[in-house]
Chains A and B, each alone.
Chain A
Amino acid sequence: MLLSTHSQTVDDNYVLVASLDNVRNLSNILKAITFKDHAIFNATPNGLKVTVEDSKCLQANAFIQAEIFQEFTIKEDSVGFQINLTVLLDCLTIFGGSTVAGVTTALRMCYNGYGYPLTLFLEEGGVVTVCKINTQEPEEPIDFEFCSTNVTNKVILQSESLKEAFSELDMTSEVLQITMSPSQPYFRLSTFGNSGNAHYDYPKDSDMMELFQCSKTQTNRYRMSLLKPSTKALALSCKVSVRTDSRGFLSLQYLVRNDDGQICFVEYYCCPDEEAEEEY
């Protein structure tokens, strides 16, 4: 392949080299978390984790395991940098969004280490584009301290059923209220908009419900504006797990299959809305 011969000579300088035959296996997943300009990249021998945060209340992570890449070489335990995600996506999709059968864009991503730009080699049909994007000091991602032991309620749903609900959500509602309970209504999404309330109920025995583990009744509200970007991840996914912990923090985990059928994960963490809650 063109790219590998080109850069073999300078391989020694790179602390991270990752190659993909189909760049969409990376760009599609990154699109699901692009609601802010800047993202924190963290690469480990396990793979790549990209983090985007919003106002300290919302965090989205995309995980692309090392196995997804055709080549994934890392010389340190952890390589991290911050980068403009919008610019990165523009470069990854520089050949356009063409989905002509059999034609894919190949990617070779190289990083020299602290202070160096991220270098992208993209090739399609014999045409090679080289992009160098400046990197910044990586910020420490917020630790939401969401651990499995603290989880009070968990459901796993097939995404299809949630996609419709999310596309219909009343956007005039400032909050999205999620109720999870071992008894009726089991799993409920509610909005409170200008015209009135809406409730979407998913019973625990629905065939869309793959897992239902709710130990106590919890109702939490989250700002609609924060959760709206998660719809992109939902659209890509085939399954989603919804978990809340004792503090009311929300974890949404999306199982995404890429073009080649491989599995990647996207997760969203969100703080509950602290404003005084009234009963509707």
Chain B
Amino acid sequence: MPVFGKAIHALARIGDELWLDPMVKGLAVRSVNSAHSAYACFCFSPLFFQRYCPNTGPAGACGTVKCKLVMKSLLPLFRCLATIERNVDCCQISINLPDNRVIFQFHCRHGITKTHNLGFQESEALQAVFSSHLCPNVLKAQARLLGDMVMHFPVSQEEITLSMSPLRVNLKNYYEEDKDRIKAMHTKMSLDPSEFDYFQVGVDSDITFCLKELRGFLSFAESYGLPVSVHFGAAGKPVSFSMEDMVLEANVVLATLVDPESKTLSQATDVPPPAALRCGGVGEPMEKDGDAAPPQAQRFPSGNELVVSSQGSPVTGGAAPPCVTRTEGFDRLRTPPQAHAGPGITAPDSSEVHSLLFGAMSCEQGFGRSSVLPSLVCSSDTEDDGRL
């Protein structure tokens, strides 16, 4: 029970809404931030629960329902974890389809029962597709080590930069160039590869991502006590933090800042990303498109290119979908007036973040349908592919 509550707390640090997705293989609880640059997913296998019965009641054609809850309604139920641990004997979660309610029933000490009926919105599945097994760089460490690393950064620190080379792993805070550098406190720590349980460097890279959104996950991992794996590639590509055991899989995928130096590179989507150029030789499996979704995830346009969003819009081959461009700050989502253009577009020279694009795709849409979209979203059918 407290573990579930802690997962909710970690998800609450990411986004304002929670996706509840009961599947045969387990209960997935997910959240994404409003800028779509951070995504978290906790998947509890049936073993985690005393009793797990998906598909009770008149299940729809898709098998199970996907619910979207407002985080503000759900978080108070799990607000005080210490009290829950002390008082709650068990919690029953059920979904009432006709009334559009998710029911959380807490059976507490002294025979007291607390029942919360929360309204939900039926929603398409939310899932980020991120092929971590294709990432050139992998770190694995006890959550405690990562927690100790980030502990040195002030709570207000928004973003940090993780640098990896065969010799060292560095972590330093990230500050914007034009801000007053004198006032900022610069922190940098350097670790030897031997400190990690697993260390694989495929390409030297510096990735900058949002620390705040990661903290919730790290504190969950520390209390749960599992090692955390970090998968990433070059700057601009997402980074994934994950952990798993028999009963639980959890991960957070964060967008990373694009290296401003790569602005000058060609923007065509079929040009290999700068990572290949930089380390000269790491083969990105870019060319075998048409296969499953994962290769597409790698097809991340570098530089300051307008990235197409599939958010909410049915993407057809020829139509010009609305574009999203992300600027620094992680919290602004703008739709530029012009439609998606091809290569050659340069965006304003402030560093940009490539968003992890999540589209609420329906079950029917195939995932390999458009090579133009460098989206990370995969339809709900492909839960096996792009497993996080």
Contact = CB atoms under 8 A, between A and B. Distances in A.
Nearest to B70: A195
B166 to A, nearest CB: 51
B119 A195 contact: yes
Contacts of A207: 110-111
A200 interface: yes
Interface residues of B, number: 19
B157 interface: no
B112 A208 contact: yes
A164 B83 contact: yes
A161 B113 CA distance: 11
Nearest to A208: B110
Interface string B338-380: 0000000000000000000000000000000000000000000
B72 to A, nearest CB: 7
Given A164-B83, A164-B87, A168-B76, A198 B117 contact: yes
Interface string A176-203: 0000000000000000001111111111
B73 interface: yes
B111 A198 contact: no
B72 A201 contact: no
B116 interface: yes
Contacts, number: 57
Interface string B105-128: 000001111111111000000000
A194 B73 contact: yes
B350 to A, nearest CB: 38
A202 B114 contact: no
Q: Residue among A164, A194, A196, A202 with the most chain B CB within 10 A?
A: A196
Given A164-B87, A195-B118, A196-B119, A202 B72 contact: no
Contacts of B118: 195-196
A84 to B, nearest CB: 36
Contact of B112 (A194, A195, A206): A206
List the 4 shortest-distance A-B pairs measured between CB atoms, nearest first.
A195-B73, A206-B111, A196-B118, A201-B113
Interface of B: 70, 72-74, 76, 79, 83, 87, 101, 110-119
26 contacts: A161-B110, A164-B83, A168-B79, A168-B114, A170-B76, A195-B70, A195-B118, A196-B73, A197-B115, A197-B116, A198-B115, A198-B116, A198-B117, A199-B116, A200-B113, A201-B112, A201-B115, A202-B112, A203-B112, A203-B113, A206-B110, A206-B111, A206-B112, A207-B110, A207-B111, A208-B112
